[in-house]
Chains A and B, each alone.
Chain A
Amino acid sequence: MTTLTTTFSELMNRHRTARQARRKVTNAVMLSLTVLLTLLALIPLFWIIIYVILRGGQYINLDFFTRLPRPPFMPGGGVLHAIEGTIILSILAGLFSIPPGVLAAFYAARNPNTPLGMAVRFGTDVLSGVPSIVIGLIGYALIVEPQGHYSALAGGIALAILMLPIILRTTEEMLKLVPHSLREASLALGAAEWKTSLSVLFPAALNGIITGFLLAIARAAGETAPLLLTALGNDRYDIGQIVRSGLQTHQNVFQILGRIVNQPVDSLPLTLFKYSQQPYPDRISQAWAVALVLMIFVLLINIIARAWVQIRARRLQG
């Protein structure tokens, strides 16, 4: 009788320890699996960065930044047209996205629970989910079709639609973080609502707004799809040339600006895409160099913006 119970409890014990061991092993295996998966997910990041630096770094020189492209099979030449185009497109996109984004954010942050405020926030979410190629179709329908030609203006507006949700969202978040006491103090001193918004809330939230803008520009600068349908590309684009010929024929500033924004332009990602589709080795090499420039630009902006937010947040806490 006693022997039977001991064996039974021994069996139970053995069973239990075996199960414990199995659970421990499962635990260890699965937890280390998450570490492995994290490493796996980061491999492409480092692979891309290192490879682009090695491949692209070989072809970067001064000409690359200061010359227009030369015909295929002729070595040399650069991507000045694309750099100028990217700058023009970014300026236009900023002009069309920052004012409406920031102003709408004032409304959404101030009236989060009104129907319009809720609708704006929901609409922003929807807008940020629209594929960029569809935004390109909108740019085409809004500007290119009525005007009858592709242009930097159309590209800038398409990019602005892409940037709008990012700017609106970050500005709104930042405005919400401004302490109520600041607002109330300003109102108590007799300042009007609009004056409070512009001279108290806006400066207090400015850092966050700039961060949002930087992130939005970094996103827009890397976009290609919408530009295929709006800015199209133009490898003879040369702002210096436009300005010089404009001055010679005594055009005023607006006419010159009009000529700058009213013709098709290239941008860095657009050039990269076109070069990568060509069979010439020189062009492929330049595509890698463009990739390097683009990547440095985008990653630097991202790192700066995020570091800025971190520092600000720490200062506010401390």
Chain B
Amino acid sequence: MQITKSIPPPSSGRLQRLLKHGDRPWQMLIMAISAGVLILVVGIGFMLWQQSISAQRVLGLKFILPTLNASWNPALNQFQAWPFIYGTFMTSIMAIFLAVPISLGVAIFLAELCPPWLRLPLNWLVELLAAIPSVVYGLWGIFVFLPKVVVPFGHFLSATLGAVPGLSVFFAGSIPLSGSSRLAAAMILTIMIIPTITAVSRDVLLAVPDHQREAALALGATRWETIWQVLLPYGLSGILGAVILGLGRALGETMAVTMVIGNSIGGSPSLLQPGYTMASIIANEFSESVSGLHTQALIEIGLVLFIITLLLNFIARLLVWRVSRRTPQEARA
């Protein structure tokens, strides 16, 4: 801008002046479009709110509160979303539980131990894992992963954790023959969120300044002690951010989950039984909804999902951003 202004306009001519003055419209155009992107983001929340407003009035807060015998019966206009909220959170939290140790292991290997020639191909492979479409995960899940891995693992869990008091609620009963269950959804989600958590925590580990490593090693710490007692605590909030990002991804994942979770509004809270999630009820029932209230109730579920993922993303970005901000200043201290 400064430079443009300091140079006197070149010898007149209408065209040249017009070209010069093209700056104002150009600035206006890119500003307007940027504002449009923002309006789109805000508009998503607003539209979901507005499109479900009469469901909010009719169904009230009871719609999303925990209940024991929730009923979802579109024909009778009975709508309670608790089974879906429960299913979404159970599968996602279980997925996080399984994915975090694996992802941290991969991230540590990629950032600290991997020989340089192997780093690029491995990064690619992890990224390809994220690129496989979720319907392909679902198809592979139904015909390969469920019978081969999930069913044996489910039997193992019900035999071991099913007898532990306190946990037995979540591992009660025996897994269906097909394997369709909340556990299956959780395990597919595990595979799908590993790339997200791995990539962000790897970047966080790489952002830890070298003097931290050198100091720990100089004090006689082993490689593992350096990683476990120095690097991980240093990057803790960033890694927490990575985990929350992964959680957000798991909550919103639709197709693979819909294909393996069994889609049933059963009463049993067990992980080994079929269930439903917020995303999969929308995918299954939306285009065949029987009444206006049914459609609105589904949109309200979408609104709840949107608000949850929005909050999680906000927290995660804040945490990751804090690590990357802190690093350069403390590097000098």
A residues sitting closer than 8 Å to B (CB atoms) are 23-24, 26-27, 30-31, 33-38, 40-42, 44-45, 47-48, 51-52, 100, 103-104, 106-108, 110, 116-117, 119-120, 122-127, 129-138, 140-142, 145, 150, 161, 164, 168, 184, 187-188, 190, 192-195, 197, 218-219, 221-225, 228-229, 232, 269, 272-273, 276-277, 284, 287-288, 291, 294-295, 298-299, 302-303, 306, 310
Contact = CB atoms under 8 A, between A and B. Distances in A.
Interface in B239-268: 245, 248, 251-255, 259
23 contacts: A30-B227, A34-B105, A34-B106, A37-B109, A38-B109, A38-B110, A117-B34, A123-B41, A129-B245, A129-B313, A131-B305, A134-B252, A134-B306, A137-B298, A137-B302, A193-B1, A194-B22, A195-B22, A223-B133, A228-B286, A229-B287, A273-B255, A276-B135
A36 B106 CA distance: 9
Given A222-B133, A222-B135, A288-B139, A41 B198 contact: yes
Contact of B224 (A26, A103, A223): A26
Nearest to A29: B224
A57 B128 CA distance: 20
A contact face: mostly helix, strand, loop, or mixed: helix
A273 B136 CA distance: 9
Interface residues on B, range: 35 or more
Question: Which of B102, B109, B191, B286 gathers most chain A CB within 10 Å?
Answer: B109
Contacts of B129: 41-42, 44-45
Question: Which of B19, B31, B35, B41 gathers most chain A CB within 10 Å?
Answer: B41
Interface stretch (B3-11, B154-162, B163-171): B3-11
Contact of A193 (B23, B113, B251): B23
Contacts of B134: 222, 224-225
Interface of B: 1, 3-4, 7, 10, 19-20, 22-23, 25-27, 29-31, 33-38, 40-41, 43-44, 47-48, 51, 101-103, 105-106, 108-110, 113, 120, 122, 124-129, 131-140, 142-145, 191, 194, 198, 222-225, 227-228, 245, 248, 251-255, 259, 279, 282-283, 286-287, 298-299, 302, 305-306, 309-310, 312-314, 317
